[in-house]
Amino acid sequence: MRKKIYHIIHRSTNKDTLSIAYQSLMLLAIIASIVPLMFARYYPVFRYIELVTVSLFIVDYFLRWMTADYHLGKGAWSFLIYPFTGWAIIDLLSILPVLTVLSDSFKVLRLTRLTRPLRMVRLFKLFRYSDRFEVLIRVIRKERKVLFSVLAIAIFYVFLTALVMFNVEPHFNPENGEETFGSFFDALYWATVTLTTVGYGDMTPVTNVGRFISMVSSLFGVAIIALPSGVITASYMEELRNERKKAEQEQEMTENGGEEA
C-alpha cells in the first residue's frame, strides 16, 4: 500500500492515471493558494481557499513522510532524515501561514508579518512537478565550476568599479547639489545595475572619468551576462537531446519485448 502511494505522489514515468491526477490536483492547489497574494485587500473567500489548499499540503506532507524510505532509500533512518530535507522544509514553511487563519491568537506571535512571504514559498513547490526544472538543476550542477567562475569575475568587477567610482565621483552633484554617490553602497548599487545593463538612471556619474567607467562597465556587462547564458543554453539542449535519445531507446526496448512475447 505504501509503495503504491509512493508511486502516486511522485511523478510517474509510466503515465499512471492516478499519479497524473494527483500532480494536477497539487498544481491547482499551489496556484490557488497564491491567488490571495495578487490582491491588496483580504476577502472572506480567501480564508476557505487557504483552508482547503493547506489541508491538501498537509496530507501531501505526511504522505511523503510516510513513504520517505522508498524515496531516500535509507531504511528506518529515512523517516528521521526526511523532515530536514530541502523539499520537506519548503512544504512545512508553506503550511505555517494557516495558523493565523485557524486562530487569531497566533497573531500575538506576529506571524501575520510572515504570512505573505511564507505563502510565496509555495511557488517553489511548483518546481517539484516540473521535469524541465530537474533538467535545469542537472545543467547547473554540471556547469557549476564555469558558472561560479563567471560569478566570481562579475562580483570582483562590480566591487572594483564601485570602488573606483566612489573615489572618482563627487558625493554631491555640483550642478544641482543633489547627492550622487553618498555611500559605498550607492556605488555598489550603481555598479550592479550598470553591469547587468539595466541602468535605471536614478544615479549617474557627472564627471568625464565616471562616464567613461560607466561606458566600459556597460560593455563589459554584455559579455558577463552572455557567458552563463550561452553555457546554460548549450548544456540544457544537450540534456534534452540525451533525454529524447533515452526515451527512444526505452520505447524500442518495449516494442522489441512485445514482439518477442
What are the pLDDT digits (tens) for 185-226? 888 888 888 877 776 767 778 788 888 888 888 888 787 777
- Average pLDDT over the chain, rounded to an integer: 80
What's the pLDDT at 109? Answer: 43
pLDDT at 250 over 80: no
144-260 under CATH 1.10.287.70, yes or no: yes
- Ranking 71-80, 89-98, 250-259 by mean pLDDT, the lowest is 250-259
C-alpha cell at 86: 530541502
Average of per-residue pLDDT across 155-161: 89
121 pLDDT exceeds 60? yes
Q: Tens of pLDDT along 72-89? A: 888 888 889 999 988 889
Out of 80-89, 169-178, 226-235, which region has the weakest mean confidence (pLDDT)? Answer: 169-178
Task: Return all residues near 160 (Cβ < 8 A) that are at least 6 apart.
Answer: none
**Mean pLDDT within 2-11:** 82
Amino acid at 259: E
**Are 10 and 68 contacting, i.e. CB atoms less than 8 angstroms apart?**
no
Please give the residue that has the higher pLDDT: either 56 or 229: 56
The grid coordinates of residue 218 equal 556597460
Calculate the CA 253 to chain-centre distance: 36
pLDDT of residue 219: 83
Q: CA-CA-CA-CA torsion for 14, 86, 27, 17, nearest 10 degrees? A: 20
Q: Can you give the pLDDT at residue 28?
A: 92
Angstrom CA distances, 150 to 18, 138, 209, 235, 252, stand at 44, 18, 26, 16, 41
Predicted TM-score (pTM) of the model is 0.64
Report which DSSP code applies to 207: S
Distance (Å, rounded) from C-alpha 158 to C-alpha 146?
18
Measure the CA–CA gap between 130 and 30, rounded to whole angstroms.
13
- For the chain, percent of residues with pLDDT exceeding 70: 82
